[in-house]
Amino acid sequence: MLSAWEIVETARHRKRPNPDYYIKELVDKYTEFHGDRSFGDDGSVTTGIGLFEGQPVSVIGLGKGQGTVENIKKNFGMAHPEGYKKALKAIKQAEKFGLPVIIFVDTPGAYPGKEAENRGQGYWIAKSLMELSKVKTPLITFITGEGGSGGALALAVSDRVFMLENSIYSILSPEGFSSILWKDSSRKVEAAEKMKITSKDLLNLSVIDDIIEENGSCDRDPVFTLNQIRAKIRKELSTLKSMDINELVAKRYDKFRKMGAY
């Protein structure tokens, strides 16, 4: 059994499949969309539409790249405000046309730079939280690697939230936690244990709905993990699409209100 810090390292592994991989393998006849209609096209966020086992779906991926060049293009998975605006554009379009939305998240957090703050980073994260809480279409989110802070939560206010077995989901990194709490970033291993950031911890806390099994680690056997995700999407789409849409939204809202009361 891996320790919490070993899971952190596995979640960050450079060979771990990113959201673009899952979108490519799971969605047929995929058409990608670009831009936020006001500032630019954030490379860390991928949006588009396609078919999942013949069903029309909208998909969003927030994630890192494979290799240095792609990581620079994707800003190492850290979205700017235009990334969240781009995702919201896709979600509102999905609502208009009655498409369920499947979201994959692997981010250390939203980009904290001055230019992002100047363009309203905090506002667009808050806007995303609000809009996802009330959008009238089914939402499913998978945390595939790192789920860092509000940058991840902005795309995880969903009817179902799942984590891959060796992923993490947290308010900040263990390094940041230990630096703030103990003024000593070298205590990151201890911090990882105390933060309860693993999939098992968060399932026990009812923060997520289920864990997607990996065969050791998804970078070693990506097809196994992919098939687990495929089966989960198939099952949940059938359940969520059968529900009355107003009931679905009410349950989603109540789910996250209860978390806030903990």
Report DSSP letters for the chain, one per residue: ---HHHHHHHHT-TTSPPHHHHHHHH-EEEEEE---SSS---TTEEEEEEEETTEEEEEEEE---SSHHHHHHTGGG---HHHHHHHHHHHHHHHHHT--EEEEEEES-S--SHHHHHTTHHHHHHHHHHHHHH-SS-EEEEEEEEEEHHHHHTT--SSEEEEETT-EEESS-HHHHHHHHHS-GGGHHHHHHHHT-BHHHHHHTTSSSEEE--SS-TTT-HHHHHHHHHHHHHHHHHHHHTS-HHHHHHHHHHHHHHHHT-
pLDDT tens digits, 81-108: 999 999 999 999 999 999 999 999 999 9
The architecture that CATH gives domain 4-260 is Alpha-Beta Complex (3.90)
What's the burial of 255, exposed, middle or buried (CB within 10 Å: 0-12/13-18/19+)?
A: middle
pLDDT tens digits, 137-195: 999 999 999 999 899 999 999 999 999 999 999 999 999 999 999 999 899 999 999 99
Is residue 262 over pLDDT 50?
A: no
Provide DSSP, 157-179.
-SSEEEEETT-EEESS-HHHHHH
Per-residue pLDDT band for 6 (boundaries 50, 70, 90) equals very high
pLDDT tens digits, 204-219: 999 999 999 998 777 7
Question: CA 62, CA 30: separation in Å to the nearest integer?
Answer: 16
For 106, what's the count of Cα atoms within 13 Å in the CB-facing half-sphere? 30
Per cent of the chain over pLDDT 70 is 99
Phi and psi based region of residue 76 (left: phi greater than 0; alpha: psi -120 to 50; beta: remaining): left
pTM of the model: 0.94
The C-alpha R_g of the chain, in whole angstroms, comes to 17
Position 260 scores a pLDDT of 57
Q: Residue 122, Cβ neighbours under 10 Å: how many?
A: 12
For 223, what's the count of Cα atoms within 13 Å in the CB-facing half-sphere? 0
What's the burial of 48, exposed, middle or buried (CB within 10 Å: 0-12/13-18/19+)?
A: middle
Is residue 131 over pLDDT 90?
A: yes
Is residue 221 over pLDDT 90?
A: no
